[in-house]
Amino acid sequence: DTLADDLGSLLDHLDLRDVTLIGHSLGATEAVRYLTRHGSGRVARLALVAGMAPGIVRGEDNPEGLPAEAIAAANETFRKDRAEFFATGGDAYFALGLPGNDVSAAYVQKVIQDCHGATARAATALVANLETLEMAPEVRKIDIPTLVIHGDQDASAPIDLTGRRAAALIPGSTFKLYENGGHGLYVTHADRLNADLREFSGR
C-alpha cells in the first residue's frame, strides 16, 4: 500500500495522464495495487514484465502454488545469509547457459552489488510479502489494456503461478512468452522487450 500510494503521489504531483505503467517482478504487484487503490484515471495501459502478481503462495485461488511454510523456510535462509543468496543466484536470475542469454560476469556482479544496496530490513520485508501475497481478486478487476511478458525459465517468478495466471485472470490481456527467458529479461532480452513495450505503449 505504501509503495502504491507513493506512486500515486508522484503521478498526481506531476499531473501525468495516459501513462503506460510497467512493473517488473514485485514492481508488478505495486502497479496492480496502485490500480486497485487509485483507479485507472491516469493510467491508460499496464505491462507486467516477469511479474510476481498474482502471487506464488498456495491458496484457494492458487491451489498449485507453493506452500507458505516452504516460502517462509526459504526466506529464513535468505535472512541468515543474503550475501550467499545473491552471490549464487545470478545464473538462475538470468537463466545463463541457455541460448541467447549472454550476460558478462561483470554485469552479474554489478547486479549483485545493486542488491546489496537494499537494507537488511527492506530486503527481508520484501521477500516476506511472498508468504501471503495473493492478488487474484485485484488482478481480475484490471480494466485497461494489459500486456503480460514472461520467460519460460523464470526461477524467481515461476511462469505458471504468475505470468500465465495473470494473463488468464486479466480480461482481454495479451500474453507474450519469451523462450529461454529468466527473470532478468531487461538484460537478456533487452532489444525485444523494449520493442514490445514501445509497440504496446504506442511510442
- Does 183 participate in catalysis according to the annotation? yes
For 197, which DSSP code? Answer: H
- Does 201 participate in catalysis according to the annotation? no
3-state helix, strand, coil in the chain (%, to 5): 50, 15, 35
98: exposed, middle or buried (Cβ count in 10 Å: 0-12, 13-18, 19+): middle
For 157, which DSSP code? Answer: S
- Does 13 participate in catalysis according to the annotation? no
Active-site residue among 150, 154, 173, 196? 154
Active-site residue among 156, 183, 189, 196? 183
Active-site residue among 25, 150, 156, 196? 25
Q: What CA–CA distance (Å, rounded) separates 73 from 96?
A: 26
At 182, list the grid cell. 529468466
Active-site positions read 25, 154, 183
